[in-house]
Amino acid sequence: MSMHEFEDLVESSVNCLAQSKTKTSQELRSLFWNLYQFQECWDTGFTHLRVIDTLLKHNFVYQFKLTQHPDYAAHKAFFDSVREFTFIGLHPEEKWNGETNPTVGYIEPPYLYCDAGSPLWQKFVEAGLLTGDDALPPVEMAIQDTAKEVIVEAKEQSNPELVSLWYSALGLYLWSFHEEAQLEEAKSDASIKAIRGIVQETGALDLDPGHGFLQQPPPEALEEYPYLFWWFQINE
């Protein structure tokens, strides 16, 4: 079953960032890329279409005619036969394989779409169909830096629920994917310090809008996990 809590978190984050009064489309493009990389860490589905207009506006997703696919001539019959939403592999007519034939784009007739930074995007760059800033790959960011950007915007937009959700998500992500030594090092990270300051300032930890994996752990469950205790007992 898909972890809808992470899908919803990323969707809310995209909508929040899109309302920024200071960020450029190029900055948003990289932030969107990092958000979807984070989403892929969990058991989640494909959700781009929920916010496709925003993703297109800020050049994270690119839209083309099917005939513009760099390999259209070699697979004309296949592309011309697509009548419904279809994921496209690196080798369009071969069976999907995560290593040798990953998904690189998708068709929502009559258009073809791909994400900035994807192998299909790279083909468009090499073909000269994407140039300038569009030919630059998204900037990879540490998850705490991405989370901080969303949390800062959420604070500006008086959205403590999103601050709270990201605080839970980030703490549980770090705990799930990092070794103990890395967790101790993370305590001095500048973005994490800034995030904790905003959480305290907004009282966001007093809220618990999360569901599923993003629910705050009960206090008794934290006692045997020093990092989680430090993270969630922020005022201790």
Residue 93, pLDDT > 70, answer yes
Measured distance CA(150)–CA(46) in Å, rounded: 21
Q: Between the CA of residue 161 and those of 15, 92, 154, 156, 204, what are the distances in Å?
A: 14, 42, 8, 13, 7
Mean pLDDT of 70-89: 96
Residue 1, pLDDT > 90, answer no
Measured distance CA(33)–CA(7) in Å, rounded: 14
223 or 36, higher pLDDT: 36
Mean pLDDT of 43-64: 97
Residue 55, pLDDT > 70, answer yes
Judge if 128 and 25 occupy the same domain. Answer: yes
What residues make up the domain containing 159?
143-232
Judge if 189 and 151 occupy the same domain. Answer: yes
Judge if 27 and 110 occupy the same domain. Answer: yes
Q: Report pLDDT digits (tens) over 152-194.
A: 999 999 999 999 999 999 999 998 888 877 888 888 999 999 9
Q: How confident is the model at residue 236, as a pLDDT?
A: 54
Judge if 114 and 160 occupy the same domain. Answer: no
Arithmetic mean of pLDDT over the chain: 94
Q: How confident is the model at residue 56, as a pLDDT?
A: 98
Give the number of other Cβ atoms within 10 Å of residue 122's Cβ: 17
Domain boundary among 135, 160, 186: 135
14-23, 50-59, 112-121, 216-225: least confidently modelled range: 216-225
Judge if 52 and 77 occupy the same domain. Answer: yes
Calculate what percentage of the chain has a pLDDT beyond 70: 99
Judge if 46 and 118 occupy the same domain. Answer: yes
Domain total of the chain: 2
Mean pLDDT of 100-109: 96
Domain boundary among 111, 135, 159: 135
Q: Are 60 and 113 in contact (CB under 8 A)?
A: no
